[in-house]
Amino acid sequence: MKGETPATRERAQLVLAAAALVAVALAPVVVAYLQLGYHADVTATAEYDAPDRNAERLLSRAVHDAAGEATGEFAWGERTAAAAAVRSDLSPRLNALRSSRVESGTVYQVGYNQSAAGAWSDANCPGGPNRQFGPCQAHEGVVVQERADETHILAVAFDVRVTTENAETALTLIVERVE
């Protein structure tokens, strides 16, 4: 080319080499991005479409934490107090769930279900002389069992009503404590 000096040619080659180096450095990022199949709206859409699963996850974690703190801390004679302690520990999380998505049009109503807790207790706690542990009882939605004269929390029963702009869902959740 006319007017091209060796210094200009070297500078052009240097710019071209730098661009190639940047392209090679970005290639692994692009490949990783494509392999992960990232889509920004996938999680948000799944959570929005399944508010009942959000409630179930939150209640599962909350029951695990609250039951873990109360289990073994109360004698069997104090089982009503143990159930009350679990409900007290759950209270802030239930309140957080109730107000969590109001601004986006999702309303959660959560309460305890004594009859479901009693039915779960009858179905899951063996009776008779060959049972390994003591009796089970349901106290205001919390299932407790006597083990070595201590109160163990086994499950909590909830009634959950989820109201969105498009639908209303009512469900009963029995959250078992996994030991």
Q: What's the confidence (pLDDT) of residue 133? A: 87
Selection from 42-51, 127-136, 149-158 with the highest mean pLDDT: 149-158
Give the percent of the chain with pLDDT over 90.
Answer: 45
The residue written with tokens 């086994």 in the block is 154
pLDDT in tens, 66-115: 998 888 899 999 999 999 999 999 999 999 888 877 777 888 999 999 99
Q: Which of 31-40, 83-92, 123-132 has the lowest mean pLDDT?
A: 31-40
Indicate the burial class of 77 (C-beta count within 10 angstroms; 0-12, 13-18, 19 or more). exposed
Contact (Cβ atoms closer than 8 angstroms) between residue 110 and residue 158: yes
pLDDT at position 34 is 67
Prediction pTM value: 0.69
49/92: higher pLDDT:
92
CA atoms within 13 A on the CB side of 82: 29
Four-point Cα dihedral 88, 78, 74, 91, nearest 10? -10
Q: Characterize the bridge pairing of strands 107-112 and 150-163.
A: antiparallel
Could you tell me which residues are beta bridge partners of residue 75?
A: 150
Fill in the amino acid letter for 70. A
Chain centroid to CA 158: how far?
A: 15
Mean pLDDT of the chain: 84
Mean pLDDT to the nearest integer, 55-67: 92
Task: Please report, for residues 29, 113, 127, the alpha-carbon distance to residue 17 in angstroms, rounded to integers and kept in the order given.
Answer: 20, 70, 80
Domain edges within the chain: 1-38, 50-176
Q: Among positive and negative, which fits the CA dihedral 89, 117, 154, 108?
A: negative
DSSP class of 5? -
